Chain A
Amino acid sequence: MTDIALNQSRWHFSNWPVWLWSFLGALIVWVASFSLAGQGASGMLVAALSFAVFTVLVGLGQMFVITLGPGNVDLSIPATIGLASAVAMKVMDGQNSLILFGLLAALVCGLAIGGFNYMLIRLLRIPPIVATLSASFIIQSVGISYGRGLQIKPPAALTDFTFSRIIGVPVLTIAAVILSVIAWLVLNKTIYGRTVSAVGQNPRAAHFAGLSVERTRLLTYLMSGVLAALCGALLAAFSGGSSLSMGKEYLLTSIAVVVLGGTSVAGGRANVPGLWGGALFLFMVSTLLNTAGFGSGLRDVLTGLIIVIAIALAGSRSASR
């Protein structure tokens, strides 16, 4: 945990990636839950894999944003999910033929929100946290007013798609894994990804190393908006319709999975596999707490505590550098 240990056991450290811990945690909790319930091991796993998809989607966007460095957080994700899901449902209007248009509309909506966020950050020179916060106020209102009385069922084909499986594995999960691989490539194999990491470590040095800092910031907020929008559209299809409060829980979870997955909260170091570990872990924890018969209150208390403790422990990583 300390500097010395970290320096001396460098090889040990890199052989045991941080994200392994979140998977290990998820595994332990999974075993605990199905032993407690006495059944349903595979059912829990499939459910976890399905639900993790949404968490991972927003987590990816949030991860890139957080990697941009201290102060960078996208608080408009829940509002974006709410609005984008309403937009998607309205455009699709329950018809299979309009699915693509609906998805496209949702993505445009996410792009617009990301661009708006960046514009506030750049023009008003305010910390991203406040920019995305003020944006979320507005998005919420747009969402309420746009989706008033909206009870449109998602197109059957889309709903079917979100529930379909290939050899027992949810298709959505496969898609999300593919997306994660792409995100990993973007992060590690493109100039953009390199720049995100550089800016997160030291924006001044990034500027002096010839990297385009501002363009990277813009792209990152755009991407976060788009991924949240995609999550919103799929979530609406998955849960049989859109609701504006649908995204609410994703504010904390999007940040929590990023941090639990080994991404540095101080910026500069992102971790894609860890997101899955974090997402599975959080879902398994809530399943365990459910199976144990805890009410939603106690579940939240324990989730909050687990997150704070995990973050306090993870804090030593960023402090040691």
Chain B
Amino acid sequence: MTALMRPALELSGVSRSFGAVRALSGVTLTIEAGKCLGLVGHNGAGKSTLMNILAGALRPDQGTLLFDGQTMDNVTVASAQKLGVRCVFQELSLCPNLTVAENARVLHPSIKGLGWRKRAGKLIGDMLDRIFPGHDIKPDALAADLSIGRRQMVEIARAFTVTDGGQLRLVILDEPTSSLDATTARQLLAFVREEIRTGVSCILISHMLGEVLDYSDQIAVMKNGQLVATGPVSDFDRQSLVDLMSGGEHPDRGVHARAAHKFENAPIAVRAERAGRGLPFIARHGEVIGLAGLAGHGQTEFLVSVYDAAKKSRSEIHVDGEVCFVAGDRQSDGVFPLWSIADNIAVNSLRVLRNRGLLARSLEHALAQKWGSVMNIKAPSLEDEILSLSGGNQQKALFARALATTSSVVLMDDPMRGVDIGTKLDVYDIIAKEAAEGRSFVWYTTEFEELEYCDRIYVFQNGRIVSELAGDEITEVGVIGSSFKDSNAA
């Protein structure tokens, strides 16, 4: 028994930054052989970065990794795999055009020669049988034909397969149950407990606090790239985890002046009553509405449907006036990389920038200048390329683009991701000012502080609006409480 208590993996002082954002700072963590470590934390706490480092997909800027007492330098995905480290990533890494068996083969170069399909099929089939008894996945089914849940099952089973006397040492599961139903999720967790008894370690990353508490030996809580608490599972309960993830901050914090506003009589700017999608949504003119909940629970989709509804009316969503959109994922939804800052700001207002039918550079320049200085964009010249700006200033340009329009509704898709605090404070002030002038803001954010700038918030879960909080109810605990309503806790 004591032989199993040696550490499988030790991290000390591991840090990693992306540009100006420090995703991990000085994480020191020990994972014991034959133990399951539950890793919790809110969005952006650094869990995924940590996991990518363990999997060899990212390299730390600082710090050391000791695997089985040996320092691991220059870890690559392949070498980590050889050492027995396997990951189940959140985005699926199956090839949709290959069968289940072929996908298993991708991970095992040694399966080849005559009869390889049968061997690969048996390998993955047996593992599926072990983990998810009663599953109905055939090894020759195409991955694309499987439901998301089944694909996740294949991916998990594939991570546990070994060939050629290889050994499994550490399995990292990132939100493994997010697309599994209750039964298969329980099957998986039970299997993990069983594997652990053979000396395999496991890191379980999950937003389902219930399952983390039930199935882990130890728990580590992360916040803002740091480890805020570690210890045996018995030290924690649901409430203490929520408190730790939110930093122990409690209800009375920072209720802003905004709460004083009264909007009952303001005209409605956006009304959405989507069948089967939970509570109705209402935004009035001059209101700042927050969309909360865990990342990827339907907030962006909601914003996009409001945006499209304003262009082409839909029965479920009514929008009064024009809308504009501030992208959060700058690279994929917002920035035009070949253009100057000024062009990027002006693009949504081109209709008013014409002189005798042709776009007038002077008008464009004046508009960009005006909103560039309102947003306080720091650049030698607005004619510089947009990509010469820092991420935060690029984001300001996107805000400038939106505010320069005549739109009465501004949709914001978590626009402050990876933006420095100075920019954020600037933007918060401008939002408050613009709202006072009658614009409404619908603001999806993954950061609690920002929700406090909202008049009301809607909490999303699985694509549905599950609760509405206003004024004093907007607290971290309140939001986390509503977003972590999982079946185990209910």
Residues of A within 8 A of B (CB): 7, 10, 185, 188-191, 194, 197-198, 201-202, 204-206, 208-211, 264, 268-269, 321
- Tell whether B325 is near chain A: CB-to-CB under 8 Å: yes
Nearest to A185 among chain B residues (CB) is B358
The answer to whether B358 and A189 have CB atoms under 8 Å apart is yes
Q: Which residues of B contact A188 (CB under 8 A)?
A: 359
The answer to whether A189 and B359 have CB atoms under 8 Å apart is yes
Q: Which parts of B325-380 form the interface with A (CB within 8 Å)?
A: 325, 327, 332-339, 343, 347-348, 350-351, 354, 357-359
* Bound form: Cα–Cα A210–B352 in Å: 13
Count of B residues near A, CB < 8 Å?
Answer: 27
Q: Which residues of B contact A269 (CB under 8 A)?
A: 338
The answer to whether B338 and A321 have CB atoms under 8 Å apart is yes
**Given that A201-B337, A202-B336 are contacting pairs, would A208 and B325 also be in contact in the complex, using a CB cutoff of 8 Å?**
yes
Kindly supply a per-residue 1/0 record for chain B positions 297-341, scoring 1 wherever the CB is within 8 Å of any chain A CB and 0 otherwise: 000000000010000000000000000110100001111111100
Nearest to A193 among chain B residues (CB) is B359
Which of A7, A208, A211, A321 interacts with B333 by CB under 8 Å?
A208
Q: Which residues of B contact A202 (CB under 8 A)?
A: 332-333, 335-337
**Given that A205-B327, A321-B337, A321-B338 are contacting pairs, would A194 and B350 also be in contact in the complex, using a CB cutoff of 8 Å?**
yes
The answer to whether B325 and A201 have CB atoms under 8 Å apart is no
Min Cβ gap B363→A in Å is: 12
Q: Which residues of A contact B347 (CB under 8 A)?
A: 194, 198, 209-211
* Bound form: Cα–Cα A321–B336 in Å: 11
Min Cβ gap A321→B in Å is: 6
Min Cβ gap A79→B in Å is: 32
Min Cβ gap A301→B in Å is: 34
Min Cβ gap B257→A in Å is: 31
**Given A191-B354, A202-B333, A321-B387; 15 other pairs, CB 8 A cutoff:** A185-B358, A189-B359, A191-B350, A194-B343, A201-B337, A202-B335, A202-B336, A205-B334, A208-B325, A208-B327, A208-B334, A209-B347, A211-B347, A268-B337, A321-B338
The answer to whether B332 and A204 have CB atoms under 8 Å apart is yes
The answer to whether B351 and A191 have CB atoms under 8 Å apart is yes
- Tell whether B464 is near chain A: CB-to-CB under 8 Å: no
Min Cβ gap B355→A in Å is: 10
- Tell whether B385 is near chain A: CB-to-CB under 8 Å: yes
The answer to whether A210 and B338 have CB atoms under 8 Å apart is no
Nearest to A194 among chain B residues (CB) is B350
Nearest to A321 among chain B residues (CB) is B337
The answer to whether B307 and A208 have CB atoms under 8 Å apart is yes
A selection of 12 A-B contacts at a CB cut-off of 8 Å is: A10-B388, A190-B359, A194-B347, A198-B347, A201-B336, A205-B335, A209-B348, A210-B324, A210-B348, A210-B405, A269-B338, A321-B387
Kindly supply a per-residue 1/0 record for chain B positions 54-96, scoring 1 wherever the CB is within 8 Å of any chain A CB and 0 otherwise: 0000000000000000000000000000000000000000000
* Bound form: Cα–Cα A286–B335 in Å: 42
Q: Which residues of A contact B385 (CB under 8 A)?
A: 10
* Bound form: Cα–Cα A257–B347 in Å: 29
* Bound form: Cα–Cα A201–B334 in Å: 10
Q: Which residues of B contact A201 (CB under 8 A)?
A: 336-339
**Given that A190-B358, A211-B347 are contacting pairs, would A205 and B336 also be in contact in the complex, using a CB cutoff of 8 Å?**
yes
